[in-house]
Each structure stands twice: as structure tokens, then as C-alpha cells.
Amino acid sequence: MPELPEVEIMTRNVRRWCDGRRLLGAELLDPALGVDLSGAIGQAMGPARRRGKYLCQPIGAQVLVLHFRMTGKAVVESSGPRKHARLRLRVEGSPPVAFVDTRRLGTAALLPAGELDAFFAAIPMGPEPWPEPRDGAWWQQRLVGLRGHIKGALMNQARVAGLGNIAASETCYRARLDPRSRVPALGAADWDAIAAAVPAFIEHVLNEESGPEIAYINEGRGAANPFDVYARAGERCGRCGGAVVRIVQAGRATFLCGGCQPRR
């Protein structure tokens, strides 16, 4: 499922496929997506950028905003039309670019460029945790006042943008924190560990998953698991040899090592 690093990879891909080219046509293959690009045909496409888990593609004076939810992805149809494509962009000098979404949970919006900041402010969405360096004091300040567990706090999009269920589990593992630790119980060393863990996780995923198409491990297509603990219940921790276990927090699966992630 796409989170900050996966959306960053797709944004880089779309930028390579579309930047500086004209939109020659658009096919809305799933009317439920509810976006009308007819007025954007013939317009130049600018460099795509990411905001949190959203991909923003400028087209003339408008911006196409995609949110991928559970199974969405942006792909280039170099080998023909793709199954489960919901939206297809015909791009000058490039194979079509498609929004593929098996479970049809993703969303799209076409906005005037000047309304993009207001769109995100209304969600609301906090600042980005990457690539700008963020220290432990920054993380503590962003999550101050939250009383729940640290994993849920890391996923709070109003506080920090882009980290989802997988990223939060992996961050806690890298920071040697039990994801059930309460936010008020964390000390300065814990916040410093989180500050180091988040960019390390993001850059690891960028290195492991970058390519023309993201492969999600829940797709059942033999995608390699690039994560340290996520979806590895029953395996041995690569750091201490302890058992990786699966628990449920707020209805979401959490993976951790019981041997080297002490609870605060």
C-alpha cells in the first residue's frame, strides 16, 4: 500500500514521463473517479510533485491530484492497456500513463493551481518529515499533546504528512521502540532515535523499490518484502534474533520484535 516513499517513487516516474509534454487526451475509464480532464487537453504538463501521500501533476493552469489509498499506482502502459486502469492520460511523446487501482479506493481531483494550498489545508496536513532534516526536538514538538501510542501518533497526518501503517511500524523498529509506547513516556533519546529512523526508512525503501512500477507485497505477485518487520510475523529479527510478532492497534496490523523494542 502506497505511503510516502512509494508515492515519491511514483512522483519521480510521472515527472519523467510527463514533464514538459502536452496532454493529448484523457480517458475516464471509471466514472466513479469523477474527474473531468476535457478542458485540460492540449495543455503543457509541468513537473509532478508529492505532498504527503498525494501526487500532484500540473496541467496548464490546473493540477491533477491523485491519492492512491490501498492499491492505487501510477504506471506507464508501455506494453498496452492495463487491467484495473481507472484513468488514462495520453501524453505527447510517451506511452499512456494510467492510474491503476484494483480496489477502486483511490481518489482524483482537478483543481486550479492557486487552490492547491487551500485543498491541503482543509484536510488538514502537517509538514513533511523528509527530505528536510528533522531533529528529535522537531518530532517531539510535532507530536506534543498526543496521549496515545507512538505508532498512532506517527500516522497522524495532521501532525506529520505521509507516514502510514507500514512506515510507523518500521520506524518504531529502527528506533528500538515498542509501538505501544505512550507518547508522553518518550524521552529525548527516543525522539532522537525517531528522527534518525524516519529518513533511514524512507531512503531504504527508495533504494529498494525504485523502478517503473511499484510492486506491493499484498498484491500476491511475488513482490519481495523490503521491510525489516512488516509482514514478517514468525520470522527472526535480523538485529537480535528474537521473534517478530504481529499485534493489532486501532484495527491495523503492527509488527515488532519482542526482543529489542522495549516498551516505554
Distance separating alpha carbons of residues 126 and 167, to the nearest angstrom: 16
DSSP conformation letters of 131-166: SS---HHHHHHHHTT--SBHHHHHT-TTTSSS--HH
Question: Is 3 a catalytic site residue?
Answer: yes
188-209 vs 4-18: helix axis angle to the nearest 10? 40
Residue among 51, 53, 142, 151 flagged as catalytic: 53
3-state secondary structure of 72: strand
Q: Can you give 110-134 as a three-state secondary structure string?
A: EEEHHHHHHHHHCCCCCCCCCCCCC
Active site residue 6: no
Q: Which of 129, 196, 211, 121 is nearest to 164 (CA)?
A: 129
The helix-helix angle for 165-174 and 188-209 (nearest 10°) equals 120
* Active-site annotation holds for 252: yes
Q: How many CB atoms lie within 10 A of CB 131?
A: 10
Catalytic residue among 104, 176, 246, 252: 252
- Determine whether 209 is an active site residue: no
CA distances to 68, 82, 94 from 7, in Å: 8, 19, 21
Q: How far apart are CA 59 and CA 252, in angstroms?
A: 36
Q: Which residues are catalytic?
A: 2-3, 53, 252
